Chain A
Amino acid sequence: MIRFSKKHQKRAILIIALLLALSSAVGLTLYALNQNINLFFTPSDLVHQKAPMGQTIRMGGLVVEGSVKRGAHDLSVSFILTDTKNQVTVDYTGILPDLFRENQGIVVLGTWQNNRFLAQEVLAKHDENYMPAEVIEAIKRSDHYENKP
């Protein structure tokens, strides 16, 4: 019943040829669209002028420690995003997502003008690490002891 005759061979070759042809077509399309599929520009892209000026774009990076400054009376906030090579200052007014914190990956949507990024939307990018709270505390405690003179 299960044979691999000429007929079956032909069908198998047809399917494999179909898959190869279509996957190379898809592959080339995705390769050509590479820049458009990337969700965000990096701070280096902006500094090196690879991103369009004045247009609405997304930028992603890590929040620099100690750079978050909140307005005294409103929801305005400014912070610096970095990709460890270049830094860009972001201004935003609104509610920040739960995961927003220093050293956290952030994606902002807005415009890049006069060396400042005016954000309309701030999204937090979560990493793939999951840890119980008490483990983190234990790590911090041990670091703390080690750092003590």
Chain B
Amino acid sequence: MIKQQLAQFISLPYMARLCARITPYLFFVMLSVIAIGLAWGLYFAPSDYQQGDAFRIIYVHVPSAFLSLMVYSCMAISAALFLIWRIKIADEIARASAPVGALFTFLALVTGSIWGKPMWGTWWIWDARLTSELILLFLFFGYMALRDALPQKIGALASSYLAVIGMINIPIIHFSVIWWNTLHQGPTLSRLSLPTMDSRMLYPLLLMILGFMLYYLLILCLQLQTAMRRS
């Protein structure tokens, strides 16, 4: 009984219908969360004691970087589910995740550079954090290229293996600032300790992360509907 319900739940037509129903709500909730987060972060939050207003790029940089790791993890888990059980919808989720993940990784790298030039004194440095994040961008590109380069079925399998293997990079990115000495600072947000940030600055940041997550969810919803129509 439960098995049957689960099987129905993860079928593409059912999910596509569900997505079609929630898409408009998701769109407006996402827009308002990001609008509030941006206004709060860029205007109402106090400026930093050392960096002044320049720190406000954190409201795009940190959510992008956070989402780049999250999207990759979702992609790799979906790819593993597809490889083991050949669940079609898992493959569609992985496929739809790649461009979003690449976008967030690119944004994280670009905003980091823009901030790095005045603050650190350089656009780019080959430290462990920046290098591993760049490798993540190449993993997303590689996934998309491999998938499109091969015939449909083989492409889906090969790129799924690539996504699963690339998962090794995720803990390396996260712990790079702890394992090695880097120019990039340590984590501001961490599960194991209190955030090293004033709460008036922190809340808009969390809101922006939520907004970016909703954006990812929205893209997944739209892509699943497209996949339904394609099949």
What residues make up the interface of A, taking CB atoms closer than 8 Å to B? 1-2, 8, 11-12, 15, 18-19, 22-23, 26, 30, 34, 37-40, 60, 96-99, 107, 121-137
In this complex, what residue of B is CB-closest to A12?
A: B84
CB-CB under 8 A for A107 and B183, given A11-B84, A131-B49: yes
Given A123-B125, A129-B196, A39–B120 Cβ distance below 8 Å?
Answer: no
Q: Which residues of B contact A131 (CB under 8 A)?
A: 48-49, 197-198
**Cβ-based interface call for B210 (8 A):** no
Interface residues in B197-211 by Cβ distance below 8 A to A read 197-198, 200-201
Cβ-neighbour of A128 out of B49, B120, B168, B187 (below 8 A)? B187
Contact flag A133-B47 (CB < 8 Å), given A2-B7, A30-B172: yes
Q: Are B119 and A97 in contact, CB atoms less than 8 angstroms apart?
A: yes
**Interface of chain A: mostly helix, strand, loop or mixed:** mixed
Task: Give the complex CA separation of A138 and B58 in angstroms.
Answer: 24
**What is the count of residue pairs linking A and B with beta-carbon distances less than 8 angstroms?**
116
Per-position contact with A for B111-146: 1 when CB-CB < 8 Å, else 0? 000000011111001011000000000000000000
Chain A residues with CB below 8 A from B24, complex form = none
The docked-state distance in angstroms from the alpha carbon of A16 to that of B172 is 18
User: Nearest residue in A to B160 (C-beta to C-beta)?
Assistant: A15
A1 close to B49 (CB less than 8 A): no
Are B120 and A19 in contact, with the CB atoms below 8 A? Answer: no
Q: Which residues from chain B contact A126 at a C-beta distance below 8 Å? A: 50-51, 119-120, 185
B100 surroundings in chain A (CB, below 8 A)? none
Judge whether A22 and B165 touch: CB under 8 Å: yes
A-B interface, 8 closest residue pairs, ranked by CB to CB distance from nearest: A132-B46, A97-B121, A1-B7, A136-B49, A130-B197, A133-B49, A39-B127, A128-B186
Question: Would you list which residues of chain B between 160 and 205 have a CB under 8 Å from chain A?
Answer: 161, 164-165, 167-168, 172, 180-183, 185-188, 196-198, 200-201
